[in-house]
Amino acid sequence: MLGWRSTWSIYKRELMRFMRTAFQSVLAPVLTTSLYFIVFGAAIGGRMPDLGGVNYGAFIIPGLLMLTLLGETTSNSSFGIYMPRFTGTIYELLSAPVGVGETLIGFVGAAMTKSLILAAIILVTARLFVDYSIAHPLLAVIYIMLVAAAFSLFGFILGIWADNFEKLGIIPMLFLTPLTFLGGTFYSIDMLPKPWDTIALANPIVYLVSGLRWTFYGTADVDIRVSFAITLTFLAACVAVIAYIFKTGWRLRA
* DSSP classification of residue 54: B
Closest CA to 124 of 36, 61, 209, 72: 61
β-bridge mates for residue 51, sequence order: 54
Q: In the prediction, which pLDDT does 1 show?
A: 54
Residues of the chain with pLDDT under 70: 1-2, 42, 45-46, 253-254
Let me know the angle formed at the C-alpha of 239 by 237 and 242, rounded to the nearest 5 degrees: 110
pLDDT tens for 17-32 read 777 777 777 777 778 8
Domain ranges of the chain: 4-248
Alpha helices in the chain (DSSP H): 4-20, 22-36, 56-59, 61-87, 90-95, 100-127, 137-161, 165-171, 177-181, 196-199, 204-217, 224-248
C-beta separation of 172 from 74 below 8 A:
yes
C-beta separation of 18 from 12 below 8 A:
no
Q: In the prediction, which pLDDT does 224 show?
A: 94
pLDDT tens for 58-67 read 899 999 999 8
Q: In the prediction, which pLDDT does 215 show?
A: 96
Count of C-beta atoms within a 10 Å radius of residue 74: 26
Determine if the pTM surpasses 0.85. Answer: yes
Q: In the prediction, which pLDDT does 157 show?
A: 93
